[in-house]
A and B are shown apart, each in its own frame.
Chain A
Amino acid sequence: MVRIRNLHFGYSKKHPLFQALNLSLDRGHIYGLLGKNGAGKTTLLKNIVGLAFPWQGTCLIDEQPAAARKPAVLEDLFFLPEEVYAPALTAEQFVAHTAGFYPRFSTEQLYEYLEELEVPRGQKLNKFSHGQQKKFMIAFALAANTGLLVLDEPTNGLDIPSKVQFRKILASALSEERCMVISTHQVRDLESLIDTVVVVHNREIVLNHDIDQLAERLTFARGAAAEAPGAFYQGASVGGPVAIRPNEAGAYSRVDLELLFNALTSGDATALHTYLNQPRHESVQ
């Protein structure tokens, strides 16, 4: 659905953010986009949805350049920024103004989601608290039923029950026809929800892997096993030493996204890269 080829982009010529970046995103998946502060997560999302224009290379949505902003592309795409803009309109007025741009928008779904997220009715959106504004826009974004849904830090500002509801709604809203991209720092909020992890670091995509595949190939070791030689990365946690090792025994260990992220973005991750990108050995079941 999304094809980025050889993307070069930055806000100043002296400091390019992306150099020869490639990325493919398909329907039927929830992608988690991770990156350090300033790595360019939001900027990458803006390039994807046509709000920033590549210096070089292309960002395509269904073979159409996103930057051309064709109506046929825009009506099938929703981008929810981290800071939402809530105008002085009631929900009904906002729907009357905006929903027309999205042919598959469902008013019924919107009110269902608003109820599940406990967003009050009747008030003007700009009178809502920050969290409620965000929840309203999340509900609207999902009810637009677009093929591509891009959410920038959606769980920021949500209270605990709202995060649970958000996960429930998102899980049941994914279909074969939809592609969801979520950037986040709160990996724990979304851990069991995303199926593919994308990490942007040092001006390129350093990881774009299915979580199940990562679990098959890597062992996230704790305790004594974490101290043995041959690890790609070693770290410390409250529970003792932790490490990422090749999964030789074929045993399952939960993919620790925080540890994996640290391994990929600090110091030398060459060995880990080489290992993940080499073709898999036939594993013995």
Chain B
Amino acid sequence: MEFRDNEAIYLQIAGYVSENILRQQWPPDDKIPSVRDLAGELQVNPNTVMRTYEFLQNQGVLYNKRGIGFFVAPDAEAKVKQFRRARFLQQELPELFKTIFLLDISLEELEQRYAQFKADQAAALSTAPTISNGHENQ
């Protein structure tokens, strides 16, 4: 895994774990890789992965069964979206605003482009149905 310079590694790994949860790679109540296994896979210090798991546990994304390991919480998807939304609004959006302001991009143009983006996403999803609705309905 390539790490960026502007965010703590444990948070970047939290992003990676969240991504797997949102994509249903790791469905609710499934056991996720052990600290040791994920540390090995990502070539990082196990203490860093432990910090990630503790952070996600505090966010309600994971729960810990003592002696067995960490599991995906039943409502993990909602929790992930909740904390990612908070992060986006607090940290990424101001940066985005700065650029938008600096380059004088109008809200109308953004609106238009966002509508186009949503349409493209919907089209992509309808042609590739395997990505969504993997586990919940089974």
CB neighbours of A253 from chain B (8 A): 5-6
Output the nearest chain A residue to B11 by Cβ-Cβ distance: A252
Q: Do A28 and B5 touch across chains, with their CB atoms under 8 A apart?
A: no
Q: Knowing A215-B8, A252-B8, A254-B3 touch, does A192 contact B44 (C-beta < 8 A)?
A: yes
Q: Do A192 and B3 touch across chains, with their CB atoms under 8 A apart?
A: yes
- Segment at the interface with A among B35-43, B57-65, B103-111, B120-128: B35-43
Within 8 Å by CB of A169, from B37, B40, B42, B51, lies B40
For chain B, residues 20 to 74, give those with C-beta under 8 angstroms from any C-beta of chain A: 36-37, 39-48, 51
Q: Mark B78-121, 1 if CB is under 8 A from A, else 0.
A: 00000000000000000000000000000000000000000000
| Nearest Cβ on chain A to B95's Cβ, whole angstroms | 12
Q: Do A192 and B45 touch across chains, with their CB atoms under 8 A apart?
A: yes
| Nearest Cβ on chain B to A141's Cβ, whole angstroms | 17
Q: Knowing A192-B48, A195-B48 touch, does A254 contact B43 (C-beta < 8 A)?
A: no
Q: Do B40 and A168 touch across chains, with their CB atoms under 8 A apart?
A: yes
Q: Knowing A168-B40, A168-B41, A169-B40 touch, does A174 contact B46 (C-beta < 8 A)?
A: yes
CB neighbours of B42 from chain A (8 A): 171, 192
CB neighbours of B5 from chain A (8 A): 253-254
Q: Do B45 and A168 touch across chains, with their CB atoms under 8 A apart?
A: no
Q: Do B3 and A171 touch across chains, with their CB atoms under 8 A apart?
A: no
Q: Do A164 and B6 touch across chains, with their CB atoms under 8 A apart?
A: no
| Nearest Cβ on chain B to A84's Cβ, whole angstroms | 23
Q: What total of chain A residues lie within 8 Å of the partner, measured CB to CB? A: 21
Is there a chain B Cβ closer than 8 Å to A92's Cβ?
Answer: no
Q: Mark A236-264, 1 if CB is under 8 A from B, else 0.
A: 00000000000000011110000000000
Count A-B contacts at CB 8 Å: 58
Q: Knowing A192-B3, A192-B9, A253-B6 touch, does A168 contact B43 (C-beta < 8 A)?
A: yes
> In the complex, A193→B39 CA distance in Å?
9
| Nearest Cβ on chain B to A224's Cβ, whole angstroms | 15
CB neighbours of B3 from chain A (8 A): 192, 254
For chain A, residues 1 to 57, give those with C-beta under 8 angstroms from any C-beta of chain B: 28-30
For chain A, residues 151 to 175, give those with C-beta under 8 angstroms from any C-beta of chain B: 164, 167-169, 171-172, 174-175
CB neighbours of A252 from chain B (8 A): 6-8, 11
> In the complex, A174→B50 CA distance in Å?
12
> In the complex, A212→B45 CA distance in Å?
12
Within 8 Å by CB of B39, from A172, A212, A215, lies A172
Q: Knowing A252-B6, A253-B5 touch, does A164 contact B43 (C-beta < 8 A)?
A: yes
CB neighbours of A174 from chain B (8 A): 36, 39, 45-47
Q: List 30 A-B contacts (CB under 8 A).
A: A29-B47, A30-B45, A164-B43, A168-B40, A168-B41, A168-B43, A171-B36, A171-B42, A171-B43, A171-B45, A172-B37, A172-B40, A174-B36, A174-B39, A174-B47, A192-B45, A193-B43, A193-B45, A194-B45, A195-B47, A195-B48, A212-B10, A212-B51, A215-B8, A251-B6, A252-B7, A252-B8, A252-B11, A254-B3, A254-B5
Given A192-B45, A252-B11, 12 further pairs, Cβ under 8 A: A171-B42, A171-B44, A171-B46, A172-B36, A174-B46, A174-B47, A193-B44, A195-B48, A212-B51, A251-B6, A252-B8, A253-B5
